[in-house]
Amino acid sequence: MNSVLICDNDPAVRTSVKNKLEELGIEAIYECCDGTSAVSLAREGLPDIAIIDAGNPQNNGLSAAREIRQKQKIPVVLLTSQCDSETLNRAKKIGITSILTKPFRAQDLLPALEMAFTHAQEVELLKEQVGDLENTIESQKIIYKAKKVLQRSEGLSESEAFRKIQKLAMDKQRSMRQIAELFLSTEQVQAEVGDYNESIITELSVFGG
């Protein structure tokens, strides 16, 4: 990650975020104060990720985030003063799951950036594997549940769990959804079958592994 776009109408917030990004070693940082400028900068500069204020009064921040996410395929972290259910639902509908509530702690920024990247990668991979949006959303839900199973059972981080599902899918020449469904079904019968890892290996052998 070498370039980041920051959009917030408060100069103090932009400066604070910029300082934190510089501490993380980010080389190129684009700044703007409104959604229209954010969309233009994203289109022209193609930053690796965008940090957008949801409550920006000039060209609604969520509208700008949606356009940047959908047209430029750039991961987005949403900044918000209040994390209410309406904002969460609107963010989810446009494919944003990484949200920071202002004021946020410095140590929360990097995990938020990583989460946005992971989510964007998942969506693009799923779009390659399934033919329509409805199936993409359903597959994403199944993979999310499977990641939680792996995090709980093997102590993996979210990104590590995703990479494990991805690798198994490539090794077994199956879709990530099929592998995820396998982990979920294995968890359901774990009490009856016994050892988790042993049972998942047995199930994977059905795929020719």
pLDDT digits (tens, 9 = 90+) for 92-149: 887 787 888 888 888 888 888 888 878 777 766 666 655 555 567 788 889 889 999 9
**35 shares a domain with 11:** yes
Looking at the fold, whether 7 and 110 belong to one and the same domain comes out as yes
- CATH number for the domain spanning 40: value is 3.40.50.2300
- Write down the residue that tokens 């020449």 correspond to: 173
3-state secondary structure of 83: coil
- Confirm whether 34 is domain-assigned: yes
Give the pLDDT confidence score for residue 209 in this predicted structure. Answer: 47
End of a domain among 114, 138, 159? 114
Listed residue (76, 82, 100, 88) closest to 20, CA to CA: 100
> Burial code of 15-39, b = ≥16 C-beta within 10 A, e = fewer?
ebbbebbeeeebeebbbbbbbbbbb
Q: How confident is the model at residue 90 (pLDDT cuts 50, 70, 90)?
A: confident
Q: Do 72 and 143 fall into the same domain?
A: no
Helices (H), the chain: 11-23, 35-45, 61-71, 85-93, 109-129, 133-154, 158-172, 176-188, 190-193, 196-204
| 108 and 147 belong to one structural domain | no
Question: Looking at the structure, do residues 25 and 108 belong to the same domain, yes or no?
Answer: yes
Residue 150 belongs to a domain with what CATH number? 1.10.10.10
Query: Which tokens belong to 177?
Result: 């959804």
- The residue range of the domain holding 9 is 3-114
Query: Bridge-partner residues for 184, per DSSP?
Result: none
Among 8-12, 85-89, 190-194, the range with the most confident prediction by mean pLDDT is: 8-12
Does residue 19 sit within a domain? yes
Average pLDDT in the chain: 80
The pLDDT assigned to 193 comes to 46
Query: Is residue 206 over pLDDT 50?
Result: no
Pair 11, 74 in one domain = yes
The whole-number average pLDDT for the span 83-88 is 78
The residue-averaged pLDDT of 56-82 equals: 82
Q: Count up the domains in the chain and report the number.
A: 2
The structure's pTM equals 0.59
b/e map 136-149, b = 16+ CB within 10 Å: beebbebbbebbeb
44-81 CB burial, b ≥16 within 10 A, e <16: eeebbbbbbbbbbeebebbbbbbbbbeebebbbbbbbe
Domain assignment present for 104: yes
Residue 50 has pLDDT above 90, yes or no: yes
Question: What are the pLDDT digits (tens) for 174-202?
Answer: 888 888 988 888 766 554 444 445 444 44
What's the pLDDT at 40? Answer: 92
Q: Let me know whether 65 and 92 are in one domain.
A: yes
C-alpha 190: how far from chain center = 29
Pick 20 or 122 by higher pLDDT.
Answer: 20
At 31, is the secondary structure helix, strand, or coil? strand
Q: In the predicted model, is pLDDT for residue 35 greater than 70?
A: yes
